[in-house]
Structure 1
């Protein structure tokens, strides 16, 4: 069975450590080094810890929900036969043109159990959550006007990471395409939801002399 291009350890680094580093970097870039208000350092630390904590909480919720769906649906992965190693001799004429229902798996039980739970892709959903969130975080928080094109390119690279991880799961025969697409959808939904939960986007009342009207704006 082929080894994963992006293993569990690599996924943890990409989905948790890397986004936290991006959050810290953006906060440092925005830090008012010349005119530092009193107690502002503690505010920055609180922002980083609060934002990172909510992102990790979103990962825990998504991981739990993903396992519930996997346990409920139990779709067989592309490598199931290799993991199962059924006690069936395909050279036996008795099994020709027959759909084999009765067989016993002789492979590793843990691997077989994993091969029965591939929908949706946990790798795709987890990495997409992180990449979508930090794309929104950079869009909202990074306020360097001269870095406009650079910001778009950076966000593009973030999404490329998510796509690469998803494609690698198909290339490694770990998941079907539908597993990846549903994983992307799960991750995107949770990523946007986490962005709103951390109040990246707030609704403000724009009051003017002509009256009050509700507008949506992006704030720091």
Structure 2
């Protein structure tokens, strides 16, 4: 009769350390998320400053420089299309791959606690992958912006957009200025806006190439590590090839449209590939074994290990704390 009250008091006192540990884990996770959010905000600030408050370096040019004398053409891959390529397409890939991966594992209904919220495990993993992808994208974007505004290289259609007028009132088309190096000039830009003239000085490196290659190469690496087709061994590689070809076509279009020199595209492509490799290997850790939801939550999902222990370790042996156990300590250890 005395055992029942003792068991009852013990059952009531157990949750206290568990609650304290859970609260401490939530606080650590909150601090971590806030710190990472602050890092992302810091990365966004330079992009906004460059785009809206900084003028690119003003470089001189030769009036007879044929590399900047191409006609102006519209973008084949517009900024909106680029946004869909580096934004919407990766999101669709993340959603499909994460859902299919968890569906095959049979844990689509599994849940995890995150800051007091219970959500599906594959939702949490989806958020983690998207977060790391966006972080690497911002790093690549920042590196691209630094290059553009520091170098200030003139685009192939610079003369057509700027229509420079020298300080003495003469034009580059005048015979006396054909071999002249011009540093002091004003852009007339008839038929073009001030933003068009400003953009004509942002050729190196190619932002379309760097962002497209980052997104598509990262997606190819992500598919390599996350998903496999059981019906066809070549299906995954075909999809990876198609993604890389999207980036390749985007880069080639920049040369065809006279928006970039070939060296701008080459440098931007290398920059994007390097960003994808660094993000996948050292930030998202796609190639590490066992990297899963534990990175996000700071621990493994809670499971009922008592049933597993009873079934796999000692199926016929009751645990030593069982009230009906007929085994003493020596017998239990021998049995296990």
TM-score, normalized by the shorter chain, greater than 0.5: yes
Q: Report 1 or 2 for greater relative contact order, CA contacts < 8 Å, sequence distance ≥ 6.
A: 1
Q: In the alignment, what sits opposite 1:200? A: 286
1:190 aligns with 2:275: yes
Q: In the alignment, what sits opposite 1:159? A: 244
Q: 1:138 to 1:84 in 2, by over 3 A?
A: same
Q: Once the 2 structures are TM-superposed, how far is the Cα of residue 137 of structure 1 from its aligned partner?
A: 0.7
Q: 1:128 to 1:23 in 2, by over 3 A?
A: same
SS in 2 for 1:133: helix
- Contact (CA 8 Å) 1:80, 1:116: kept in 2 or not? yes
Aligned counterparts of 2:215 and 2:179: Cα–Cα separation in 1 = 47
- After alignment, is 135-144 or 177-186 more displaced? 135-144
Aligned counterparts of 2:92 and 2:134: Cα–Cα separation in 1 = 13
Aligned counterparts of 2:194 and 2:131: Cα–Cα separation in 1 = 35
1:103 to 185, 190, 201: 185
Name the TM-score, length of structure 2 as normaliser: 0.56
Larger Rg, first or second structure (1 or 2):
2
Aligned counterparts of 1:10 and 1:189: Cα–Cα separation in 2 = 23
Aligned counterparts of 2:241 and 2:138: Cα–Cα separation in 1 = 26
- Contact (CA 8 Å) 1:30, 1:143: kept in 2 or not? no
Name the TM-score, length of structure 1 as normaliser: 0.84
Within a 5 Å distance, the mapping from 1:42-81 to structure 2 comes to: 42-81=120-159
1:85 to 163, 178, 190: 163
1:27 to 95, 98, 108: 98
Matched residues, number: 204
Q: In the alignment, what sits opposite 2:110? A: 38
What are the superposed Cα offsets for residues 45-101 of structure 1, whole Å, 9 maximum, x if unpaired?
011111111111211221112111111111111011111111244564544554455
What are the superposed Cα offsets for residues 176-206 of structure 1, whole Å, 9 maximum, x if unpaired?
00001111100001111111211211168xx
Q: 1:32 to 1:73 in 2, by over 3 A?
A: same
